[in-house]
Amino acid sequence: MPKANLVKGTGHRAKPTRKPKFQADLAPFEDSAVRSLKQQLQLTSNSDFFSEAVALFQWAVSERRQGHRIVSESANGEKKILVLPRLERVAPESALPQVRIDWTEKELGRLAELLSSEPAKPTEALVRAMKG
């Protein structure tokens, strides 16, 4: 007769721990993409696929958190940087992509004028278009 798994000091059986379940509602396109990826990677179960995907995302988050860029490089040296908006949320502020705009005095003056003026009234064509 097998021994009962007792919770120490209680006299009660310990509940066997079960792995958490995960379920996703996928659009048909996403379902096809998952099936195709599973086939390409020779993965037979959704659990295996999900484990691999989680491992990849953990690595990507860790890299971005350290300020590293994730780069794909072709055989001829062409590089592409992976940019996913949700992944960029974990990047240190100094590592975020930046755009510099060199404004002239005239452009800055015009921008200030536009920002401080009253909003423009909609045109007749816009009103008709909005009505349908």
Q: What is the pLDDT of residues 58-111, one digit of tens each?
A: 999 999 999 899 999 999 999 999 989 999 899 887 656 677 889 999 999 999
Contacts of 1 (CB under 8 A, 6+ apart): none
The one-letter amino acid at 23: Q
pTM for the complete prediction? 0.56
Least confident of 25-29, 30-34, 75-79, 125-129: 125-129
Residue 46 has pLDDT above 70, yes or no: yes
According to DSSP, residue 9 is labeled: T
Using DSSP's 3-state secondary structure scheme, residue 79 falls into strand
Asked if residue 32 has pLDDT above 70, the reply is yes
Mean of all residue pLDDT scores within the chain? 87
Distances (CA, A) of 120 to 37, 108, 114, 132: 51, 20, 10, 21
C-alpha distance from residue 38 to each of 21, 43, 61, 71 (Å) = 19, 5, 22, 23
How big is the chain, counted in residues? 132
- Helical spans, DSSP H, in the chain: 28-40, 46-65, 85-88, 105-116, 124-131
CB of 91 closer than 8 Å to CB of 67: yes
Place of tokens 């007792």: 6
